[in-house]
Structure 1
Amino acid sequence: MIRPRIPRGRRGLLSAGGALVAVAVVVAVLVSAMDGTGRPAARQSAAYPDGLPHTRVTMSAGDCGQGWTDGHGGDQVFDVHNASSGPAEVDLVDPGTGAVYGEVEGLAPGTTRPLQVTLGGGSYAFKCLPDDADAVTGPTVRIAGHAAAGPAAVPVSQHDLIPPTIAYQQWIGGQMGQLADRVGALKDAVDSGDLDAARAAWLPAHLVYERMGAAYGTFGDADKAINGTTAGLPRGSSDPRFTGFHRIEYGLWHGQSAEQLRLPADQLGKDVDQLRSGWSQARMDPAQLGLRAHEILENTVQFELTGRTDYGSGSNLATARANLDGTRTALGYLRPLLTAARLPQLPRVDAALDRMQRTLDGFETDGHWTALNALSRTQRERVDADAGAAVEQLAAVAAVCDVRRTS
């Protein structure tokens, strides 16, 4: 099916386990307090509903981080003001490693937005990245002590993402042969009029495709042709634009004859062959691989675990399990980048995926899967909870792998 593309800009996503960076939450513009000399000063928590100390910092043309000179550890808020004439991104970084502790994206001229962070002992500086201008790094502020700071991540560059993306694209190419073989077996069963064999061949073929989820964006229109649903089609299952796996699924489990299914099966084979033959010329966007690793299971929750893609086979849980395999594959190629300096909570990500896998595997016996609508309420709640937890943990991967501008 066509997966809706979630906009980028997931850098500020926070998970329950602590994600990449603190998020700049949009709240009312705060007015700075001034000390006796007329300079911006750290403001006391009593004046703010969040109960945290606030410090106003300003960026202007050629300057960054004005107003912050004396650092203190702990939870706090910086009210970041853009006094320049253009929009900018403002990051709080470790000037030695470049690790990002927090950021405000798309800060418009004349506006102020809060940035909440937890600071420990160490060195910090604001880096301002105006649109269409070079980055400017403000003065370094040092905080004494050994308390741990909040989460931070060394930025990932486009160059960093090229090798894993090429390797993943090659893996997808290797799956194309298996996909074509499984679709060929499905087509042969339909052509021979053996619909029991066709039903048995449908799911293995479909699951091969479902494991290739991080490449859907590169498949383009082929994804809709191969795995589209009736969504948006005025004639529903009777619409001639309803093609691919789900069109055949509908026919196999709704009493259609082999004669009625020969044309859809033949078209699926042609669409898969066309995708396979053109794949060597395709180019995946390296900046999207981390996002897709998260998005695969997001779409699983939205479409598979709601039954919206079930056209009679009752195989949504099998598809969810294949989507989990697809997530692990994409994550595996990204793993060399997900060091402790970037994603210290990677073990929590793995644990959440393991838990989801154990739950899903409990609904499969000798290749037969429990239908989604046959789950008890308790079973359904467990599936939803485990999938939701995995999606939440994977948000950190998308955030870490979102390419950041550093200069």
Structure 2
Amino acid sequence: MLSRGSGLLGLSAVTLFAVTGCGSGATPPAPPSAAHSTAATADAGAGALPQVSASRSACGTGWTRAQAGLVQLDVHNTDINAAEVYLANAAGKVYAEVDPLGPAASAVLTASLPQGTYHLICSVNDADPVDGPTVRVTGPAPGGTGVLPVTSAQLAPIVIGYQHWVGGRLKVMQANARTLNTDLRRGDRAAARADLVTADHTWGTLGGAYEAFGDTGEAIDGNAYPWPQGVHDPHWTGLLRLEYGLWHGQSLASLTKYGNQLTKDLNTLETTLSSTEFDPLSVVLRSHEITEGSLNQTLTGHNDYGAHDELTEVRGQLAGSAELLRRLKPLVAPRYPGYAAVVKQLAKTRADVAAQTSWQVTTPDQPPSTGHELVDGDVAELTELLSPIPAMLEPRVF
């Protein structure tokens, strides 16, 4: 599985990619499984595997035949630069990959292949890819379903449109902060609390999962855990700091400085977004990371400092996920047999969240309520269904 990005930047990690098919009504494929998609440093047990070269001058040398079903290749990078190695069929569908494979390094490339013709593709140091010789795979065993690669050019208009949408949501967030600041200065705690909950929902729609907005995002919505003095640390700022103060009896006058800082940080984020292009891989990762954050951070109460507005936050996060998925649909739907199941589960999850008339926050000394269990299960299933999408849509160079 792809690991997480940091800030507004993408990432590159050793991966192997294969997607198994799913029949009508079947559970859509989970993320690349250990059986079909494991990239690992070649060990002593790999000696019996075909020894295959990966370089600009000898891509795929050493692989000459295979039987349908599970196929493993001991791939060795003989170039002086890092390489990306893909296993594709004649139609260009990708069944597995190693990305990156360092100079002189080896990895076991594993794929599940039906009968047909295949070849390796080697891209060294992001140079033009080189195709290896054609290999015929024979036999009756079934195999996985390859996926047509997505290019940065295909993702570009989607990413640009999504970034503009995020910018629009940020303007709503800035308006929320101004209203909150006004009510703090007026001394209206009830109104300020309502403003805070509204801002939490808006922030959730932006999809700022896993530090997607870098240090500025942490200043806006970071919790107290990283700070030496926890909730009493003077450097802790943002929505959660305001929430803590509003629900723990701190004077509104003392909270105005945090409201002002929130406005400044949102303005900083606006400047950053207006001068920075979203990385396509980061956007693709968010298709899964937003709901993963809902499950692991929001619904666990990890970021609850008194407002108990997990449902409001999750509604915002689901809205953000729905918007991103809508924009990615032209690329996802033709590649993912489980796309219809994703859409169905997303609708069910949003409906179940909206149907909660009361919300019991889970504490260490009591089990979750029935409603909490329902929503937790919905979001967990949705997160699992979304998990293959980043690997499918990761932009590739060929």
- Corresponding residue of 2:29: 17
Larger radius of gyration: 1
Which amino acid counterpart does residue 354 of structure 1 have in structure 2?
A
Please state how far the C-alpha of 1:279 moved relative to its aligned partner.
4.2
Match of residue 105, structure 1, among 99, 102, 121 = 99
Residues of 2 paired with 1:170 and 1:288: CA distance?
15
Which residues in structure 2 correspond to 1:3-402 (within 5 Å)? 7-9=11-13, 12=16, 17-19=29-31, 22-26=36-40, 28-33=43-48, 55-59=50-54, 62-84=57-79, 86-95=81-90, 97-108=91-102, 111-131=105-125, 134-143=128-137, 149-214=143-208, 219-276=213-270, 279-340=273-334, 342-363=335-356, 365=357, 369-373=359-363, 376=368, 379-402=371-394
Question: Deviation of residue 25 (structure 1)?
Answer: 3.8
Q: Structure 1 pair 216/161, CA: closer, same or farther in 2 (3 Å)?
A: farther
Q: For residues 32-70 of structure 1, what are the alpha-carbon distances to aligned partners after superposition, in whole Å with 9 as ceiling and x for unaligned? A: 45xxxxxxxxxxxxxxxxxxxx54434456122233333
Q: Which runs of 5+ in 2 are unaligned?
A: 20-27
Contact preservation (8 Å) 2:178, 2:263: yes
- Asked if the contact 2:82–2:102 (Cα under 8 Å) also holds between the matched residues in 1, the reply is yes
Q: Tell me if the contact between 2:359 and 2:371 (Cα under 8 Å) persists in the aligned partners.
A: no
Contact 2:60-2:121 at 8 Å conserved across structures: yes
Ranges in structure 1 where 5+ consecutive residues have no aligned partner: 34-53
Query: Using the alignment, how far apart are the partners of 1:214 and 1:248 within structure 2?
Result: 19
Deviations 1:318-358 (A, max 9, x none): 21232121111122222222242x32322232233334334
Counterpart contact for 2:353–2:375, Cα < 8 Å: yes
Comparing 112-121 with 393-402, which one deviates more in the overlay? 112-121
TM-score (normalizing by structure 2): 0.83
Cα drift, residue 174 of structure 1? 1.8
Change in 2 beyond 3 A, CA 1:370/1:111: same
Greater CA drift, 286-295 or 258-267? 258-267
The one-letter code matched in structure 2 to 1:404 is: R
Instruction: Report the CA distance between 1:219 and its aligned residue.
Output: 4.0
**1:167 and 1:81 mapped to 2: Cα distance?**
40
User: How many angstroms apart in 1 are the aligned matches of 2:82 and 2:45?
Assistant: 19
Query: In 2, distance between residues paired with 1:111 and 1:270?
Result: 47
Letter in 2 for 1:24: T
Amino acid paired to 1:28: D
Change (3 A) 1:238 1:217: closer
TM-score by length of 1: 0.81
**Between the two proteins, what is the percent identity of the paired residues?**
34
Q: More displaced, 391-400 or 69-78?
A: 69-78
Cα pair 1:93 1:101 within 8 Å, conserved? yes
Number of residues of Structure 1 aligned to a counterpart in Structure 2: 379
Q: In 2, distance between residues paired with 1:132 and 1:199?
A: 51
Q: Give, in whole Å, the separation in 1 of the partners of 2:174 and 2:182.
A: 12
My pick for the range that moved more, 69-78 or 4-13, is: 4-13
Encode CA deviations 1:134-181: one digit per residue, 9 max, x unaligned: 432122123467876413222111221111111111112222332222
**CA contact under 8 A between 1:352 and 1:386: conserved in structure 2?**
yes
Change (3 A) 1:296 1:135: same
CA distance in 1: counterparts of 2:160 and 2:215, whole angstroms: 21
The separation in 1 between residues aligned to 2:209 and 2:293, in whole angstroms, is 14
Aligned-pair CA distance for 1:128: 2.2
Give the Cα separation in 1 of the matches to 2:279 and 2:210.
12
Give the C-alpha shift of residue 289 in structure 1. Answer: 0.8
Counterpart contact for 1:12–1:23, Cα < 8 Å: yes
**8 Å CA contact retained: 1:29, 1:111:** no
Quick one: structure 1 residues 222 and 347, their matched pair in 2 at CA, closer, same or farther if it must change by over 3 Å?
same
Distance verdict in 2 for CA 1:266–1:85, change over 3 Å: closer
